[in-house]
Amino acid sequence: MKLLFATTNAAKFREACDALGDTRMEILGLRDFPHVSSVPETGETFRENAVLKARGYFRQTDIPCIADDGGLIVDYLGGMPGVHSHRWLGHAATDQELAEAILERLEGVSRQERTARLGGVIAFWDGAHLLESENWLEGYVADRLMGEVRPGFPYRALLMIPEFNKAYAELTPEEHQKVNFRRKNLESLTPHIIEHLAHCAKGSANDGQRKTEQSSQRTIT
Q: How much is the pTM? A: 0.84
pLDDT value at residue 10: 84
Residue 144 DSSP label:
S
pLDDT value at residue 220: 59
Q: Degrees (nearest 5) of the Cα angle 188, 175, 21?
A: 45
pLDDT value at residue 117: 97
Query: Which CATH number applies to 2-220?
Result: 3.90.950.10
What is the amino acid identity at position 6?
A
Q: Degrees (nearest 5) of the Cα angle 4, 7, 10?
A: 110
pLDDT in tens, the chain (221 residues): 889 999 988 878 888 888 777 777 889 999 999 999 999 999 999 999 999 999 999 999 999 999 999 999 999 999 999 998 877 887 778 999 999 999 999 999 999 999 999 999 999 999 988 999 999 999 999 999 998 898 888 999 999 999 999 999 999 999 998 998 888 998 888 888 888 777 766 665 455 444 434 455 666 55
Q: Degrees (nearest 5) of the Cα angle 16, 18, 58?
A: 30
How far apart CA 17 and CA 62 sit, in angstroms, is 20
Q: Residue 61, SS3?
A: helix
Domain segments of the chain: what residues? Answer: 2-220
b (16+ CB within 10 A) / e for 40-55: ebeeeebbbbbbbbbb
- The active-site residue out of 18, 22, 69, 207 is 69
Supply the Cα-derived Rg of the chain in whole angstroms: 18
CB atoms within 10 A of CB 59: 13
69 is catalytic: yes
